[in-house]
Amino acid sequence: MALKIFLGNKLVDEADAKVSVFDHGLLYGDGVFEGIRVYSGRVFLHQQHIDRLYESAKAIRLVIPLSPADMKAAVEQTVKANNIDDGYVRLVVTRGAGSLGLDIRKTSNPQVIIIADTISLYPPETYTKGMQLVTASTIRNHPGALSSRIKSLNYLNNILARIEGTDAGMVEALMLNHKGEVAECTGDNIFIVKNRVLLTPGLDAGILEGITRNAVMELAVEAGYEVRETSLTRHDLYIADEMFLTGTAAEVVAVVGLDGRKIGSGEPGPVTKDLLARFQKLTRSET
Ligand code: PXG
């Protein structure tokens, strides 16, 4: 079924949803985006995603032509227009069309694009059995060059690492930072459990501040687990009791192998399962 796409300030048919080949989003990856889940017709953690979008835009000096409240309403409108009950929203803001040069003063009309569609998830056995990872040789962008907290349209860093995962037959790959510390995966944050304490790299490791990561940290504290943000090496990961990833698409997914080593028991661990259950409860209850 053809989708209705929010483009500019209104819904248009998918076939008419077109942007200029001179858009700096296309020419330079100059723009920002969000990926958001819809559960039972409700946009999950909507405000957090809107806030991150506007923070990303501010950091790249992109003025979004809609107010945050209007953007939120546009997302709701797009979800309703496409009858999305359980699905996925891709929210994109580009710099707009400009000249064939880097000068943003020659661009105009940032483009707001909202796509609401169904989502393809990992197969169910990924959740029951857990996934395997490899460490990519491509390190995460140096946060001094481009803050990893900006969810920008330039995802080449992550795509190159993901290719290495794909080549190894895996759906994700672990990325280290410029210091050789554990950063995150190509589209997911990472946690380990050691002696029932949750450990995850801090934002200073050069990671995206994942909204699922934040939600899971809150749920874990509520559940009485100790949670620590700390620098982690691959060695810490190899000797972890449990490992899991968090992300909008993945939710909470166990990692049971890394670089050919078995992690923990080689099966999704009790803390991971508990947190997945708590997270799924949140997706059903959050308003
Ligand atoms: N790290 C990176 C680099 C990401 O891109 C996450 C962590 C997890 O963040 P959230 O806020 O989602 O918990 C992401 C998010 C996709 C897709 O289509 C990717 C993400 C989100 C949604 C969809 O591959 N990445």
At 122-166, the pLDDT tens digits run: 999 999 999 999 999 999 999 999 999 999 999 999 999 999 999
- Closest residue to atom 23 of ligand 1, CA basis: 35
Across the chain, what does the average pLDDT equal? 97
pLDDT at 94: 98
- Mention every residue, 6+ apart, whose C-beta is less than 8 A from residue 132: 170, 255, 256, 257, 258
Is the CB of 208 inside a 6 Å radius of any atom of ligand 1? yes
Residues 57 and 135 placed together within one structural domain of the fold = no
Is there a single domain that holds both residue 57 and residue 136?
Answer: no
Query: 């895996």: which residue's tokens?
Result: 170
Which residues, in sequence order, are CB contacts of 148 under 8 Å at separation 6+?
140, 141, 183, 184, 206, 207, 208
Domain boundary among 58, 85, 117: 117
Instruction: For residue range 50-97, list pLDDT tens digits in order.
Output: 999 999 999 999 999 999 999 999 999 999 999 999 999 999 999 999
Do 204 and 63 lie in one domain? The reply is no
Q: What is the pLDDT of residues 109-120, one digit of tens each?
A: 999 999 999 998
CATH code at 273? 3.20.10.10
User: Do residues 136 and 265 both lie within one domain?
Assistant: yes
Average pLDDT over residues 179-184: 98
Using the 3D structure, point to which of 83, 102, 117 is the last residue of a domain.
Answer: 117
* Residues 139 and 267 reside in one and the same domain: yes
The token pair that represents 156 in the structure block:
């080449």
Q: Is 26 helix (H, G, I), strand (E, B) or coil?
A: helix
Do 109 and 160 reside in the same domain of the chain? no
What total of structural domains would you count in the chain?
2
Which of 43, 50, 152, 188 maximizes ligand 1 atoms within 8 Å of its Cβ, making it the mutation to test the pocket? 188
Ligand 1 atom 24: residue of nearest CA: 187
Are residue 236 and residue 176 in the same domain, yes or no?
yes
The answer for residues whose C-beta is within 8 angstroms of residue 226's C-beta and 6 or more apart is 196, 197, 198
* pLDDT range class, residue 18, cuts 50, 70, 90: very high
- Residue 1 binned pLDDT confidence (cut-offs 50, 70, 90): confident
192 and 156 in a common domain: yes
Please check the confidence at residue 277 and state whether its pLDDT lies above 90.
yes
Condensed to tens digits (0 to 9), the pLDDT of residues 216-267 reads: 999 999 999 999 999 999 999 999 999 999 999 999 999 999 999 999 999 9
87 ligand 1 Cβ < 6 A:
no
Phi, psi angles (nearest 5°) of residue 125: -70, -20
The predicted model gives 197-214 an average pLDDT of: 98
Query: In terms of C-beta density within 10 A (0-12 exposed, 13-18 middle, 19 or more buried), how is residue 169 classed?
Result: exposed
One domain for residues 44 and 160: no
Verify that 66 and 196 share a domain, yes or no: no
Which of 91, 117, 143 represents a domain boundary (last residue)?
Answer: 117
CA separation for the pair 39, 87 (Å, rounded): 7
Average pLDDT over residues 5-24: 97
CATH number reported for the structural domain that contains residue 81 in this entry: 3.30.470.10
d(CA 252, CA 275): 7
What is the residue type of 250?
A: A
Q: Is 219 helix (H, G, I), strand (E, B) or coil?
A: helix
Question: Residue 55 sits in which domain range?
Answer: 4-117
Same domain membership, residue 267 and residue 252: yes
- Give me the pLDDT at residue 96, please: 98
Q: Are residues 144 and 113 in the same domain?
A: no
Ligand 1 atom, smallest distance to 35 CA = 22
Q: Report CA(39)–ligand 1 centroid distance (Å).
A: 17
What pLDDT is recorded for position 286? 65
Q: Is 106 a catalytic residue?
A: no
**Residue nearest atom 9 in ligand 1 by C-alpha distance:** 210
**287 confidence band (pLDDT: 50, 70, 90):** low
Exposed/middle/buried for 156, CB within 10 Å: 0-12, 13-18, 19+?
exposed
Interacting residues of 152 by C-beta distance below 8 A, sequence separation 6+: 29, 31, 32, 33, 56, 60, 146
Query: With contact defined as beta carbons under 8 Å apart, do 220 and 195 qualify?
Result: no
Q: Is the CB of 188 under 6 A from ligand 1?
A: yes
